[in-house]
Structure 1
Amino acid sequence: MTITSLPRKPGELWWGGVINEGHAMPFGNRPHSRDLRVTDDNQASPLLLSNLGRYVWCEEPFAFSVNEGTLTIDHGGELVIEEGHGTLQGAYRHACQAQFPPSGVTPDKLAFMAPQYCTWVEMFYEPTQEKLLHYARSIIENGFPPGVLIIDDNWMQDYGTWDFEKHRFPDPAGMIASLHELGFKIMLWVCPYVSPDSIKFRQLRDLGVLMKHADGTPVLRRWWNGYSAVVDYTSEAGAAWFKQQLDRLAADYGVDGFKLDAGEPILPDLLHDVTQPVAWSLPVRPMEDCEAYARLGIGYPLSELRMCWKLGGQALIQRQRDKTHSWDAATGLSGLIPNAIAQGLMGYAYNCPDMVGGGMDGDINSPHFRFDAELFVRFVQCSALFPAMQFSMAPWRVLNGEELSWCMDAVRIRSELGPALAELADQAAEEGLPILRSLEFVYPQQGFHAVTDQFMVGDSILVAPVVQKGQTSRRIQFPEGRWQGDDGSVVEGPLQVEVSAPLSRLPWYRKI
């Protein structure tokens, strides 16, 4: 390994690494360190960007630390260090074109025009054809627009046996055709795991497409549903077999895309037998297996990932890791905006917060679950103008009266601005620019680097959600120009203004 130290310039701050650390960015105001070689919790990239126009890139993961005067990088591969690009946006544009050029492909526009609806919280491990059709009709009957419908875990016969379970889904092709007629696009949840006591496991073992230890025994990986064998998606044969399953589901049933869950790098502590590492079929650098899994989503109109390594610029929807039902900056609502800013700066333009209200750290149907209606409404408002947004808990089931109407108001704002989001998605595909941008990105070196509770949609829409419990007003920092608010007010920037933000309001402004 090689240690490279870069003296920090006066006022220089850094972004990059792991998007789940967005709440700690920019780095430089306090000591911070991270080892990207052992990242297993969300999207990441071997990229660091400076507000003074410098960037650092390496094809291999590295460890880095930032202190008062120095950025120190511990790396194995060749380190690319560029400077002279002026601003955060200048550094990003050059890094993007050089290291992860945009693909020119945009995901299905419905992802930007309407919300996603995931079955997870409503059905957990018990989705059925009847429940899905009822859920879809309920969405429309309750005044919400049809969008992308994600059929989550346990629709299939078994892990690795990727076909609909016939008793719970007697006519999947007919069901999906009906959902299409209602205006929905369909994504299926998939993962790389194979139940080790199944017929499919024995077939794939004999085909040689499962990950193995050096002694030839299949790897058993610990994950949230137990212990499973793993398709070796780093091998040509393993990746081809997995893609064949996805292609067949699209062809046979009309599925529009896939939610590729899991995909964390294979680290020793996630293996059943930590004394035996994986014997890869070809040399694999740290994190390269995570990249190989994410590549399986390329080529479908809709692909959503929770884990990714590199692959900025690709037409992949990147969902933030599961959030708690809380206001917390590290794990809850307050972390959505800074993490989304970090996603965009690493080339993941089509970013999505976790499902509204969080992934439900607990069973909402339990009498012990403490549901916070104010949090849910603010979560909807914060998510509404992200590139993608996702419901799972049905709003009409947990809210009523004004609270439900305020959620619907936020969704109507999304519908109104959907064409603008879709246009920015096309721009991301061609130029690689983020859709959701920090104020520092759009208005550099004007003191906006620390603003992490507001964001820009493109260059002309300013969004300032409330992300703190109990707040009914908030201070908004307006850049230069004239800004017309959703309430009809006009503000001349640059200016800081305290604005009214009752629970009924998502404050947003358009530059005029």
Structure 2
Amino acid sequence: MSQRGGRVKLGLLIFIFLVGCVVVAVVTWHFTKRSNENNTSSHTSPQKSVTEMNLGETTIQNNLKIDIKRKTQTVLSGQLWDDKLRVNFKEWSNTNDWKRTATWSRDRKLDVSYKEEGGVPCYQFHWKVTVGLESVLSDCWDIGDAHWYGGFEDYYQPWPLEKMSRNMSAYIVDDSYQKKLGGVQERYFITSKGVGIYIEEDVPLYISINASNDRKVCLQAKYEKYPYQNYKKLLPSLNYHICVSTDVKLIHDFMSRTFIKLRPTDIPDSSMFRKPIWSTWAQYHKDINQSLILDFANNIIRNNFTHSQLEIDDDWTPKYGDIDFNVAKFPNARAMIKQLNDMGFRVTVWLHPFFNLDSNAFTEAASRFFLIRQFDSPLPGLVSWWDGKLAGIIDATNPEAVEWYLNQTKFLQNTYNISSFKFDAGEVNWLPKVYSANFDIPNEYSKHWANLAYKADETVRHQEVRVGYKTQDLPIFVRMLDKDSNWDYTNGLKTLIPTALTFGILGYPFILPDMIGGNAYYTHPERELYIRWMQANVFLPSLQFSIVPWQYDEEVINLTRRFIQLHEDYTETILKLAREATATGAPIVRPLWWIAPKDEVALTIDSEFLLGNDILVAPVLDKGASSRDVYLPGGQWNDVLRGGVKQGGWYRNYKADLHELPYFIRNN
């Protein structure tokens, strides 16, 4: 090849190389540009951090303030964590179209994900601590002008929830009589604006509601020595879901299907719906014996009252924990129960998880390691409860301990023909402050105690329990904790309907109200209170008497018979609704907003309720009142007490004398 030809060929190669470089550069620029414009899964450029997050129509600002929207309307606003976190805030990164992640330079990150099911958008907020066991995670949501429902049993039991003011409290199954978060609870809230909130079970959760009237609901996650002990050195997380529908009824239906899920597998024994339970507790407290029990039963029969069962309550055993009759009080318990059976009574007895130190059963249970143990020790952890200062507590999560306990109940059934049981306590607060057991989540104890109660009578099903946590599937009655014999919201008559409504929203339809007239702890129920309390119970799923009507006068006896009969007249309706609950989870006793979810009065009224969708009950709840204001949602209602048909709206000063109970049937 000539020198000139070589130079030409070399020049051609150089030209081709340069053109190639230009083409590659152009393609690379074009691809990068399109990727930055269209590919939402790419991370934010470090030269320009994105501190505002958008998912759907919801926005989180760079100060971590958030507005959750339905279409263009804000339905919930809040503050994710607090302003201090802005100092170390880095940026949002787009993990994919449905998830965003925020990171901090030191110890935590936040994942926010979005999905839509059946037209209902849901957001999941998942805070994670990456370093440091002592960290606290906290989000606050504005109550705003919405009304809130759900949560837990409460001493004052407000309806809606924003009426209360509660400082930050551990969200554990506790004793509402001590003004703690109550024994029936779920990590579930809904609002009148169609918002639902569900917090995951493994979160070491604390909550405040309208603390110091701040109009906020705050969620907090942290580990402490009590109640969320953390011997496994877990890092705290705050993991919860917020879903949005168009109204409170629709969001309840969605959240119940999606997060509660459990439905009763059957219904309790039908006789407990139909006829009253008679208990010794409020009338006699601990002063019971064989002759008194027989006298109690004879008076029920003599005064011509129906009954489903007679319940022998506190102090029938020799020592607390020894599950047998005290022969000093009951010299021939077998003959007594035979006599009661011959009179037509089924007999139940009071049980609890405690074994006092002086009982024989404590020695046996402790030696077989059936009691909740001290931390990292084979020795039982000793607790204090209302009937003992030193006691062990059954480990309801230990299968062998459960079998042993149930054998004691079978002994009662086989030896004395005891029909069933009233299971008391079971709340987490009765556990030792530091313990070793087969569960990490404290509320698991209450769930296992309720399951133990069910196994004691799973065929006939006429037992009762006073705790509920993820036990909506159990076909047993759940009892309200002891009510006081007063008219007001300090655990008195006015908390009866709000408690029943709360139980139903949380998925517990088989409500056993406490004793008619209350428990007579500080004062005996006056005559008028007793009558009005009885009327308020008539359309609830079951009636429970202890304070006896014959201690008043003949009119009270006759009124009591009449209202018991009214309850029995509607028992088939109640049973139909109970069976419906096994399929749908719908409560038997419903708030007025169940049929009027956008009606402001229906969203707030706490002195009326629905039995199903078509019977509205408006008992008189004020001392000395011979009338009350009655509200009827839209439509036509047959006035059963006064006759005629009424349209929806307010009826002021509706007359209801002491012997009268206002109720209405919807005209369909």
TM-score where L is the length of structure 2: 0.70
2:218 corresponds to 1:72: yes
Out of 325, 341, 354, the residue aligned to residue 193 of structure 1 is: 354
| Greater alpha carbon shift after TM alignment, 103-112 vs 115-124 | 115-124
What does residue 49 of structure 1 align with? 190
1:152 CA displacement: 0.5
Q: Is the 8 A contact 2:639 2:664 kept in 1?
A: yes
Following the alignment from structure 2 to structure 1, what is the Cα–Cα distance between the partners of residues 426 and 165? 30
Out of 541, 545, 561, the residue aligned to residue 408 of structure 1 is: 561
Following the alignment from structure 1 to structure 2, what is the Cα–Cα distance between the partners of residues 182 and 422? 26
Letter matched to residue 201 of structure 2: E
SS in 1 for 2:253: helix
| Greater alpha carbon shift after TM alignment, 193-202 vs 103-112 | 193-202
Following the alignment from structure 1 to structure 2, what is the Cα–Cα distance between the partners of residues 255 and 486? 41
Letter matched to residue 469 of structure 2: W
Following the alignment from structure 1 to structure 2, what is the Cα–Cα distance between the partners of residues 202 and 5? 48
Letter matched to residue 40 of structure 1: D
2:415 corresponds to 1:290: no
Q: Is the 8 A contact 1:266 1:289 kept in 2?
A: no
1:30 CA displacement: 7.2
1:350-409 per-residue CA deviation (whole Å, 9 max, x = no partner) reads 1122211111114xxxxxx55411111111111122112211111112x10323322322
1:116 CA displacement: 1.2
What does residue 481 of structure 2 align with? 321
In structure 1, stretches of 5+ residues that fail to align are: 363-368
Following the alignment from structure 1 to structure 2, what is the Cα–Cα distance between the partners of residues 329 and 85? 32
Q: Describe the shift of the 1:79–1:115 C-alpha distance in structure 2 as closer, same or farther (beyond 3 A).
A: farther
Q: Is the 8 A contact 1:337 1:454 kept in 2?
A: yes
2:160 corresponds to 1:26: yes
What does residue 371 of structure 2 align with? 210
| Greater alpha carbon shift after TM alignment, 420-429 vs 83-92 | 83-92
Q: Is the 8 A contact 1:22 1:341 kept in 2?
A: no
Letter matched to residue 286 of structure 1: P
Following the alignment from structure 1 to structure 2, what is the Cα–Cα distance between the partners of residues 49 and 183? 45
Letter matched to residue 635 of structure 2: G
- Superposed, which structure 2 residues align to 1:303-452 within 5 Å? 303-362=463-522, 369=523, 371-397=525-551, 399-447=552-600, 448-452=602-606
1:138-163 per-residue CA deviation (whole Å, 9 max, x = no partner) reads 11221221222211012223222212
1:256-304 per-residue CA deviation (whole Å, 9 max, x = no partner) reads 321111112146xx75xx6xx1222x23313222222222122421222
Out of 50, 53, 62, the residue aligned to residue 205 of structure 2 is: 62
Q: Is the 8 A contact 2:446 2:469 kept in 1?
A: yes
SS in 2 for 1:467: coil
What does residue 460 of structure 1 align with? 614
1:181 CA displacement: 4.2
Following the alignment from structure 2 to structure 1, what is the Cα–Cα distance between the partners of residues 419 and 364? 27
Q: Is the 8 A contact 1:465 1:507 kept in 2?
A: yes
1:22 CA displacement: 6.5
Q: Describe the shift of the 1:170–1:219 C-alpha distance in structure 2 as closer, same or farther (beyond 3 A).
A: same
What does residue 425 of structure 2 align with? 262
1:481 CA displacement: 2.5
SS in 2 for 1:25: coil
Following the alignment from structure 1 to structure 2, what is the Cα–Cα distance between the partners of residues 461 and 406? 21
Q: Is the 8 A contact 1:328 1:334 kept in 2?
A: yes
1:452 CA displacement: 0.2
Q: Describe the shift of the 1:266–1:487 C-alpha distance in structure 2 as closer, same or farther (beyond 3 A).
A: closer
Q: Describe the shift of the 1:134–1:404 C-alpha distance in structure 2 as closer, same or farther (beyond 3 A).
A: same
| Greater alpha carbon shift after TM alignment, 80-89 vs 467-476 | 80-89
Following the alignment from structure 1 to structure 2, what is the Cα–Cα distance between the partners of residues 423 and 194? 40
2:241 corresponds to 1:87: no
| Greater alpha carbon shift after TM alignment, 19-28 vs 340-349 | 19-28
Task: Determine which structure has more spread, i.e. the larger CA radius of gyration.
Answer: 2
Q: Is the 8 A contact 1:382 1:465 kept in 2?
A: yes
What does residue 365 of structure 1 align with? none
Out of 279, 302, 313, the residue aligned to residue 436 of structure 2 is: 279
Following the alignment from structure 2 to structure 1, what is the Cα–Cα distance between the partners of residues 515 and 161? 28
1:413 CA displacement: 1.1
Q: Is the 8 A contact 2:190 2:196 kept in 1?
A: yes
Aligned length: 497
What does residue 234 of structure 1 align with? 397
| Greater alpha carbon shift after TM alignment, 459-468 vs 412-421 | 412-421
The structure showing larger relative contact order (alpha-carbon pairs under 8 Å, at least 6 residues apart) is: 1
SS in 1 for 2:373: coil
Letter matched to residue 159 of structure 2: M
In structure 2, stretches of 5+ residues that fail to align are: 1-135, 177-182, 222-235
1:213-240 per-residue CA deviation (whole Å, 9 max, x = no partner) reads 1343322211111222211222222222
Q: Describe the shift of the 1:102–1:250 C-alpha distance in structure 2 as closer, same or farther (beyond 3 A).
A: farther
SS in 1 for 2:428: coil
Following the alignment from structure 2 to structure 1, what is the Cα–Cα distance between the partners of residues 570 and 237? 43
Letter matched to residue 380 of structure 1: M
- Superposed, which structure 2 residues align to 1:39-188 within 5 Å? 39-41=174-176, 42-57=183-198, 58-60=200-202, 62-66=205-209, 71-75=217-221, 79-98=239-258, 99-188=260-349
Q: Describe the shift of the 1:186–1:394 C-alpha distance in structure 2 as closer, same or farther (beyond 3 A).
A: same
SS in 1 for 2:218: strand
Following the alignment from structure 1 to structure 2, what is the Cα–Cα distance between the partners of residues 430 and 176? 38
Following the alignment from structure 1 to structure 2, what is the Cα–Cα distance between the partners of residues 95 and 424? 20
2:384 corresponds to 1:222: yes
Following the alignment from structure 2 to structure 1, what is the Cα–Cα distance between the partners of residues 578 and 417? 24
Q: Describe the shift of the 1:251–1:2 C-alpha distance in structure 2 as closer, same or farther (beyond 3 A).
A: farther
Q: Describe the shift of the 1:6–1:195 C-alpha distance in structure 2 as closer, same or farther (beyond 3 A).
A: closer
What does residue 10 of structure 2 align with? none
TM-score where L is the length of structure 1: 0.89
Following the alignment from structure 1 to structure 2, what is the Cα–Cα distance between the partners of residues 385 and 430? 22
Of all paired residues, the percent bearing the same amino acid is 26
1:112 CA displacement: 0.9
Q: Is the 8 A contact 1:100 1:347 kept in 2?
A: no
Following the alignment from structure 1 to structure 2, what is the Cα–Cα distance between the partners of residues 307 and 220? 21
What does residue 250 of structure 1 align with? 413
SS in 2 for 1:308: coil
1:305 CA displacement: 1.9
| Greater alpha carbon shift after TM alignment, 111-120 vs 254-263 | 254-263
Q: Describe the shift of the 1:7–1:123 C-alpha distance in structure 2 as closer, same or farther (beyond 3 A).
A: closer
1:455 CA displacement: 0.6
Q: Is the 8 A contact 1:357 1:375 kept in 2?
A: yes
SS in 2 for 1:494: strand
1:21 CA displacement: 5.7
1:46-94 per-residue CA deviation (whole Å, 9 max, x = no partner) reads 1112233332222146233455775432245663424244333333333
1:431 CA displacement: 2.0
Letter matched to residue 408 of structure 1: R
Following the alignment from structure 1 to structure 2, what is the Cα–Cα distance between the partners of residues 336 and 36? 25
